[in-house]
Structure 1
Amino acid sequence: MSAARTSAAIRYTAMRIAIFVGCLVAVAVLVQFGVLPKGLGDSNFVWVVLLALVLSAPLSFVLLRKQRDAMSQQIVGKVDQAKARLEANRTQEDGAVQ
């Protein structure tokens, strides 16, 4: 069960990285061929990374909705389990004190 929990987070993160890398490659190619302007002076690499970040963020938001929801549900379940364990421990301690 915990493997499934980790896999949703890992899958989502891997897909976010893949979208960013795809945008990075696409922007680098477009800058190289002059379709997009190059950065000022030596800032070309920073310019390409920033453009890739700006493009990948909304793409990830739209394309990874299902994965984000699955990961969120797993996180909520894990938090609920932790709260239940904490409450059970607190109840046991209160019973032992009295």
Structure 2
Amino acid sequence: MNVAKPSATVRYTAMRVAVFVGCLVFVALLVHFKIVPAGLGDANAIWVVLLALVLSAPLSFVLLRKQRDEMSAQIVTKVESAKARLEANRSQEDGAAG
């Protein structure tokens, strides 16, 4: 049975979302237990989301370096392949036209 390996981009994105959700839960708990201020007035949800974004960005940068490198390599390979196909098509058209 051949199981397809998920693309590096999908894997990286899923892990990035997981890091954000983890930060979101962490920040929500900190706000709930009044360790971190709850924001101004009705801005509580926005405050929690923004703080989670600020925390998850550097964490993702450090923790997901390997996955980001794999995704980048996969994208470069696909772009080079597309360029090679385009060049091959051009040379066939030039040969047929001449």
The TM-score by the shorter chain falls in which range? over 0.9
2: CA distance between counterparts of 1:78 and 1:20? 28
Structure 1 residue 77 and structure 2 residue 77: aligned? Answer: yes
Identity among equivalent positions (%) equals: 75
In the other structure, the counterpart of 1:38 is: 38
Count, aligned residues? 95
Q: How far apart, CA to CA, are the structure 2 residues paired with 1:10 and 1:64?
A: 13
Deviation string 1:8-64 (CA, Å, 9 cap, x unpaired) is 111100000000000000000000100000110000000000000000000000000
C-alpha distance in 1, partners of 2:97/2:11?
45
Aligned counterpart, 1:93? 93
Q: Which amino acid aligns with 2:53?
A: L
Alignment of 1:1-98 (within 5 A): 4=5, 6-98=6-98
The list of structure 1 runs, each at least 4 consecutive aligned residues, that deviate by more than 2 angstroms after superposition, is none
Task: Calculate the TM-score normalised by the size of structure 1.
Answer: 0.94
Shift, 1:7, TM fit: 2.0
Cα displacement (A) at 1:94: 0.3
- Structure (1/2) with the larger helix percentage: 1
Structure 2 gap segments, 5+ residues each: none
> TM-score, structure 2 length as denominator?
0.94
What runs of 5+ residues in structure 1 fail to find an aligned partner? none
